[in-house]
Structure 1
Amino acid sequence: MAVSAIERGTEWLARGGLRPTRQRLALAALLVGDGEDRHVTAESLFALADRTGERVSLATVYNTLRAFCEAGLMNEVVVDGSKSYFDTRMDDHPHFYWEDSGRLTDAPAEELRIAGLPEAPEGMQVSRVDVVIRLKRA
């Protein structure tokens, strides 16, 4: 029997310890319902929800994406300091940012080499390193 988008969304929310409210479940199903990883902005997820008939405000989408991040279900990738993408793929991996289209995609992690990182300030530890490789037409 095939796993439905709602079932996948429900399991995903449970992994993060989140209560499956109607809005959370609807957005979770859109994000992970087909089993594929996603890079979305709040605006693109809001538009997708609208196209599928889900009634949810843009503010709710923002708040829900933040809750998903806090629960460890997604990572926020900030591009240009003002544009945030939300990634459902949780392993360490770099990204390509396509400047001409504004898309964010996964880059091949096996080709990335980081020789070292600076020492974290006293009392701090590195929690994550985000690598965004910006692309433009030659």
Structure 2
Amino acid sequence: MLAGCPFHDLRVKLCAAGLRPTRQRLALGWLLFAKGDRHLTAENLQEEAQASRVSISLATIYNSLHQFTQTGLLREIAVDGSRTYFDTNVTDHHHFLIEGANTLIDIPQVAVDLLRLPPAPTGKRIAQVEVIVRLRDTPLA
């Protein structure tokens, strides 16, 4: 494989994160990262894997997603404790959640004012702030 090849670049990305580029990780990484920044659930990824004829169990997908998250390749976003999304955009940003469609959309960083956060308790520091704004369709008048 040559430098500049997307498959080679994925192998390098996995190795740089400390992950061995196994066949399954490469297949999932290709599905995750080849389409740019996006938000997926494990179930979405399993559907894409099946559509691409990649045979991989849901348990393996969850394990891989958590490994990718722990090494900084993905960002995990828990919504209501019942649904977890994995974001390929690992920069600090916030989200709109479209209820009913269960779709996340990035909020531009400049659109959220975080200057008025409460102070952290003594001996603690704020590690990260995640804002999820829920959207619903407005009823027609």
TM-score, normalisation: structure 2: 0.88
In the aligned structure 1, how far is the partner of 2:4 from the partner of 2:13?
A: 12
Bigger shift: residues 114-123 or 17-26: 114-123
Q: What residue ranges of structure 2 are gaps of 5+ in the alignment?
A: none
Count matched residues: 137
* Cross-structure match for 2:121: 121
Question: What is the identity, as a one-letter code, of the residue corresponding to 2:62?
Answer: Y
Q: What residue ranges of structure 1 are gaps of 5+ in the alignment?
A: none
Percent pairwise identity: 43
Maintained 8 Å contact 1:49/1:55: yes
Larger radius of gyration: 2
Maintained 8 Å contact 2:3/2:9: no
Question: What SS class does the counterpart of residue 24 from structure 2 fall into?
Answer: helix
Q: Tell me how far 1:4 sits from its aligned partner.
A: 4.3
Bigger shift: residues 92-101 or 6-15: 6-15
CA deviations on 1:43-77 (whole Å, 9 max, x unpaired) are 00011011001110000000100000110111100
- What's the RMSD between the two structures over aligned residues? 1.8
* Cross-structure match for 1:48: 48
Runs of 4+ in 1 over 6 A off after TM superposition: none
Q: 1:4 to 1:38 in 2, by over 3 A?
A: farther
1:30 aligned to 2:31? Answer: yes
In the aligned structure 2, how far is the partner of 1:18 from the partner of 1:132?
A: 30
In the aligned structure 2, how far is the partner of 1:37 from the partner of 1:8?
A: 16
Question: What is the identity, as a one-letter code, of the residue corresponding to 1:32?
Answer: F
* Cross-structure match for 1:106: 106
Question: What is the identity, as a one-letter code, of the residue corresponding to 2:30?
Answer: A
